[in-house]
Structure formats: C-alpha cells, structure tokens
C-alpha cells in the first residue's frame, strides 16, 4: 500500500478510532485508518461480545459535533432508570433523575461502529485499510508493520495514534521500547452474555429501564435492543465454587437460574445454549504513562485507559478523549508535540476518576441497589 509521510495513522477502527478519523479529517489532516478485522459492515457480529452499550450525554456530545447524533439516536432506546429484580417479589423501578426525564440510551455497538465507519469512509481525506493488524512500530520514525492476509506490509506516518483497545498493540510497542509503564488490573470477575428474545413480538420486559438482578457475589443486567430482544450480561467470578466454571451441566445451569434468577428462565428459552456456548469475557483496568511519546505516537480510548464496564462510560470516555484532543490541536495550531502532552494533562486525572468510580459502582450495582437502606435513600431523594 502506498503511504504518505504527512499522514496521521489511526490504528484501530473501533469506536474511538472511527470518530477520531472524522475529527482529524475535518481539521484537514490526511488520515490512514488501520483495522485488524475485515470490514464489519460486510460480516456478522461475534457471538456473545457486548452487543449493546449505554450511550450518555458525554458520548452524544461528540457525535453531535460531527452531525451523527440524530442518525445514532434514531435506533436508541432511552432507559430512564433501573428496574431492580429481587429473588422474590415484583421488580422495583428507581429513576435516574428526580424529574424522571434524564435517560441513558441503549444502542447497538455494531450499528454505532458502522455509522462511525461509514462517516469516516465518506471523507476524501480518510483511507481505510482492513485486515491490517499492527505488529511492529518504530516510535522514532513512525514506521509500522502490519500482518495482512497477503503477508507482512509496512507503512509510515507523521503521527501514529493508537485507538486499538484495551490490549493495544501500539501501547505494547511503546512498552517494548521502554517508553512507557503500564499496569493491567484484571478483575476476578468475568462476563457472559445471554439473550431474552421478543415475547409474542413485543419486549418481554420494560424497554424503558436498565434491568438489574443484584445478587451480592454475582449480578446480571439487561439492556433492550431495537429488535425487541434484551441482551443480558451476567457478571460472576471466573474461578471458585460459585463461578462460571461451577455450572458444568444443563441441569446445573437450569437449577442455578431457577434458584437465583427465577424470572429469567421463562423468558430465555436459549438460556442453556447461550450459557454453554457464549464466551466468558475478561474485565480489567488499564493504566499507563505517558500516553504519548515525543508528539509522534499517542494513545486514546481504551488503549490509554480501559475501565471496567459498571458505569457504562468506557466508550463515552473514549469519545470525550477525541473531543479533547481536537480542542488541544485547536489551541496548539496542530502542533502535535504540544497538543499530545496537553491532551494527556487534561484527560489523565479524569480517566483515573472514572476508573475508580466504575469499580465502586460494581459494588453498588451488585449489592447496594437491593438493600433497604439504599431504597429508602432513593425514596427520600425522589420524594
């Protein structure tokens, strides 16, 4: 592939990478967007891998700036509160705001990624190379090596921006060159996705709420999808006597859900199949420093600061990164050596704050939302 030395390389065409390509092109930069996967617009989603996510005002603000908010929101399902499912008794609704007006929005991750990809692909300054997995990077020169189905190829760029997710290869290359330090704290919990299909063509649960089954050491949530199904995400320890691995047979799975999540089995006819075949995803917090090297290589989104998903803010935070980098470029007249360090100074504390809040919210969601004290406090707040 022909490369241009004035190009900005964006590695990873996920949520942050596609949005970043749009913002950079708008500033007049030629952009090469590299993605290890084939074009997702022509394929099918991976089984059991975060089908939907909650988009909040932080993320919407970024989409609004490139005129994509209305298109994305057309299929969004606003969730105005939590619906808490106890083991015994009726579910209870806890609104997110006093007036009940504020909502977070359940949207399809695939549809959002495709909308952003489509927006980037339409821009003449952006070229996209799918099936390009970054495997090498020289931080001094910006020379990159990719594995492709045709073999190894190389490319160059003026600046390389890693938006390649929690397991970032760009971050890995900086680490290998001794240019950053990182810590990756895995949670001893994993997640598995399960499906509640439509019931008689309608939603089987209230689609205006984020559903939570708080169970102390385990927790399940469910978000609505535009096809009237729900995607449930079960969080549970990865090892031990009460863990994903402890349910070894169909009978054990059925018995476990009947006992702990009794309203689920009647609504989830494929529960056993989903449980047995959907993968267990890992969860963790990534911290690294610095987020940039010499104004030539930078990290954004999960590549710089992956967080656990309990605040539903990882993607929203990645979108905020893009807006902030754009602002820094504005203030530094597109001088990357000034803009990238400024970006890190402005974002790192915020990323750390949401990382800690996300961990704390896990305790709240799996435990406290079901406690009588919490329910009383909520009643007082919303009286």
| Interacting residues with ligand FAD (CB under 6 A) | 11-17, 34-37, 50, 53-54, 133-134, 163-165, 169, 191, 233, 281, 301-303, 309, 312-316, 318
According to DSSP, the residues that pair with 11 across neighbouring strands are 34, 162
Task: Determine contact, residues 189/283, Cβ cutoff 8 Å.
Answer: yes
- Which position's Cβ is nearest ligand FAD? 14
**Which CB, 221 or 272, lies closer to ligand FAD?**
221
Q: How far is the CB of 155 from ligand FAD (least distance, A)?
A: 12
**Which CB, 92 or 281, lies closer to ligand FAD?**
281
Question: From CA 223, how far away is CA 233, in angstroms rounded?
Answer: 9
Q: How far is the CB of 317 from ligand FAD (least distance, A)?
A: 7
Task: Determine contact, residues 272/321, Cβ cutoff 8 Å.
Answer: no
Question: From CA 223, how far away is CA 206, in angstroms rounded?
Answer: 10
**Which CB, 32 or 247, lies closer to ligand FAD?**
32
- Going by C-beta distance under 8 Å and a sequence separation of 6 or more, which residues neighbour residue 155? 1, 3, 9, 32, 34, 143, 144, 146
Q: Token pair for residue 25?
A: 């092109």
**Which CB, 134 or 370, lies closer to ligand FAD?**
134
Q: How far is the CB of 107 from ligand FAD (least distance, A)?
A: 9
Q: Token pair for residue 91?
A: 């579910």
Q: How far is the CB of 265 from ligand FAD (least distance, A)?
A: 22
CA 270 to centroid of chain Cα atoms: 25
Q: How many helices (H) and strands (E) does the chain have?
A: 11, 19
Cβ neighbours of 148 (radius 10 Å): 15
**Which CB, 266 or 279, lies closer to ligand FAD?**
279
- Going by C-beta distance under 8 Å and a sequence separation of 6 or more, which residues neighbour residue 333? none
Distances (CA, A) of 176 to 170, 171, 289: 10, 9, 14
Q: Would you give the DSSP letter of residue 180?
A: -
**Which CB, 133 or 375, lies closer to ligand FAD?**
133
**3-state class (DSSP) for residue 146:** strand
Whether the upstream peptide bond of residue 336 has omega within 30° of 0, thus cis, is no
Q: How far is the CB of 88 from ligand FAD (least distance, A)?
A: 28
**Which CB, 60 or 328, lies closer to ligand FAD?**
60
Q: How far is the CB of 35 from ligand FAD (least distance, A)?
A: 5
**Which CB, 167 or 262, lies closer to ligand FAD?**
167
Q: What is the dihedral of CA 56, 217, 231, 185, to 10 degrees?
A: 60
Q: How far is the CB of 357 from ligand FAD (least distance, A)?
A: 13
Q: How far is the CB of 147 from ligand FAD (least distance, A)?
A: 9
- Going by C-beta distance under 8 Å and a sequence separation of 6 or more, which residues neighbour residue 348? 289, 291, 305
Question: From CA 253, how far away is CA 268, in angstroms rounded?
Answer: 12
Nearest residue to 312 via CA among 48, 112, 116, 56? 56
**Which CB, 166 or 205, lies closer to ligand FAD?**
166
Q: How far is the CB of 379 from ligand FAD (least distance, A)?
A: 27
**Which CB, 123 or 282, lies closer to ligand FAD?**
282
Q: How far is the CB of 102 from ligand FAD (least distance, A)?
A: 16
Task: Determine contact, residues 232/221, Cβ cutoff 8 Å.
Answer: yes
């Amino acid at each position: 592939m022909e490369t241009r030395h004035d190009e900005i390389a964006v590695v990873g065409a996920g949520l942050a990478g596609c949005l970043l390509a749009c913002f950079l092109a708008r500033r007049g930069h030629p952009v090469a967007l590299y993605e290890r996967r084939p074009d997702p617009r022509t394929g099918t989603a991976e089984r059991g891998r975060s089908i939907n996510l909650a988009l909040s005002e932080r993320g919407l603000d970024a989409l609004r700036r490139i005129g994509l908010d209305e298109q994305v929101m057309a299929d969004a399902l606003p969730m105005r509160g939590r619906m808490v499912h106890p083991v015994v008794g009726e579910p209870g609704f806890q609104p997110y705001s006093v007036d009940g007006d504020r909502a977070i929005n359940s949207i399809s991750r695939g549809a959002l990624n495709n909308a952003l990809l489509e927006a980037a692909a339409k821009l003449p300054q952006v070229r996209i190379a799918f099936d390009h997995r970054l495997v090498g990077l020289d931080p001094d020169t910006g020379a990159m090596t990719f594995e492709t189905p045709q073999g190894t190829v190389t490319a160059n760029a003026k600046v390389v921006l890693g938006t390649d997710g929690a397991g970032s290869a760009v971050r890995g290359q900086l680490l290998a060159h001794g240019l950053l330090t990182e810590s990756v704290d895995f949670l001893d919990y994993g997640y598995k996705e399960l499906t509640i299909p439509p019931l008689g063509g309608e939603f089987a649960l209230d689609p205006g709420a984020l559903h939570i089954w708080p169970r102390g050491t385990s927790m399940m949530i469910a978000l609505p999808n535009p096809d009237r199904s729900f995607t449930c995400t079960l969080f549970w320890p990865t090892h031990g006597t009460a863990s994903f691995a402890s349910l070894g047979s169909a009978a054990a799975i059925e018995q476990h859900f009947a006992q702990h999540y009794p309203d689920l089995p009647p609504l989830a006819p494929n529960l056993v199949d989903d449980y047995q075949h959907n993968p267990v995803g890992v969860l963790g917090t990534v911290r690294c420093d610095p987020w940039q090297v010499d104004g030539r290589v930078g990290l954004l989104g999960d590549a710089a600061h992956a967080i656990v998903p309990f605040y539903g803010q990882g993607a929203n935070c990645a979108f905020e990164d893009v807006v902030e980098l754009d602002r820094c470029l504005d203030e530094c007249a597109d001088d990357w050596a000034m803009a990238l360090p400024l970006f890190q100074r402005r974002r790192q504390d915020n990323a750390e704050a949401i990382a800690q809040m996300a961990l704390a919210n896990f305790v709240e969601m799996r435990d406290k939302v079901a406690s009588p004290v919490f329910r009383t406090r909520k009643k007082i707040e919303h009286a």
